[in-house]
Amino acid sequence: EVRLVESGGGLVQPGKSLRLSCRVSGFTLKTYCMSWVRQAPGKGLQWVANLRQDGLERDYLDSVKGRFTVSRDNAGYSLYLQMNSLSGEDTAVYYCAREHCGNHYMDVWGKGTAVAVSS
């Protein structure tokens, strides 16, 4: 069974850092692209970052470039999102999603992990 499970969310002060994890099962990150998508409270979906299956090519939403870094472990079963210099605008539920590398749709989603940035 294909499954994605996020963890690492929580309450963090502005300017601090947090690392989110996404554990996958039923497939390996070495054969799929992956994305992080967030949803602020009461708002719509916003793509944040993705990682190609080679583990090297990455792309980011402009507002997180230089602050967020997406990566994965060598075994290919955990995806990470390192988030630095957090602000209130980063408050959201963060979902990891498996992305079709060719057509860029997201066919499997985790349940999400909530990040709240507040003093």
Partner 1 sequence: EIVLTQSPGTLSLSPGERATLSCRASQSVRGDYLAWYQQKPGQAPRLLMYGTSYRATGIADRFSGSGYGTDFTLTISRLEPEDFAVYYCQQYVSYVTFGGGTKVE
Residue with tokens 């054969």: 31
Which CB atom, from 73 or from 107, has the smaller least distance to partner 1? 107
Of 94, 99, 100, residue with least CA distance to 81: 94
Of 34, 35, 7, 3, residue with least CA distance to 112: 7
Which CB atom, from 45 or from 116, has the smaller least distance to partner 1? 45
Which CB atom, from 30 or from 111, has the smaller least distance to partner 1? 111
Question: In whole angstroms, how close is the CB of 36 to partner 1 at the nearest point?
Answer: 11
Residues that bind partner 1 (CB under 8 A): 35, 37, 44-47, 50, 59, 61, 95, 97, 100, 102-112
